[in-house]
């Protein structure tokens, strides 16, 4: 079922925190189940990492991007976003309060949507 769900969508966006300078084990495990089955082959894929640290979860981000590239996901620079000091950009309810972060997220989504639209027209 998990494989079918990934196969059926036009694009995927991952948003992950950084734990011990890496991606959460459950996310890595979920991806490991798909490494050789091809669901991510050329699939437009967004990668967002966030951290309370100034690094924005860059190590988790790099790890996730590398894993997805091994799976031949389509990851362009426009589909990636690192969010440093995330707690200063959201309210206690998880709403975005930082206009630049909001613009960055919308831009990432617009780029993915354009890629999907172009793929569907060819």
The tens digit of pLDDT for each residue in 61-71 reads 999 999 999 99
pLDDT of residue 20: 87
This prediction's pTM: 0.91
pLDDT of residue 120: 75
79: DSSP letter: G
**Residues of the chain scoring pLDDT < 50:** none
**For residues 66 and 33, what is the distance between their CA atoms, to the nearest angstrom?**
16
97's CB contacts (< 8 A; 6+ apart) are 89, 90, 91
pLDDT of residue 122: 62
């Amino acid at each position: 079922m998990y494989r079918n769900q990934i196969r059926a969508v036009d694009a995927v966006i991952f948003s992950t925190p950084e734990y011990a300078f890496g991606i959460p084990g459950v996310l890595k495990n979920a991806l490991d189940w798909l490494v050789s089955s091809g669901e991510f082959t050329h699939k437009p894929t967004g990668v967002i990492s966030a951290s309370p640290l100034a690094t924005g979860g860059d190590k988790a981000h790099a790890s996730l991007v590398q894993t997805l590239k091994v799976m031949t996901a389509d990851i362009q620079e426009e589909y990636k976003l690192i969010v440093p000091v995330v707690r200063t950009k959201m309210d206690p309810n998880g709403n975005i309060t930082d206009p630049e972060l909001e613009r960055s997220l919308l831009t990432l989504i617009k780029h993915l949507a354009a890629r999907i639209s172009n793929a569907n027209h060819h």
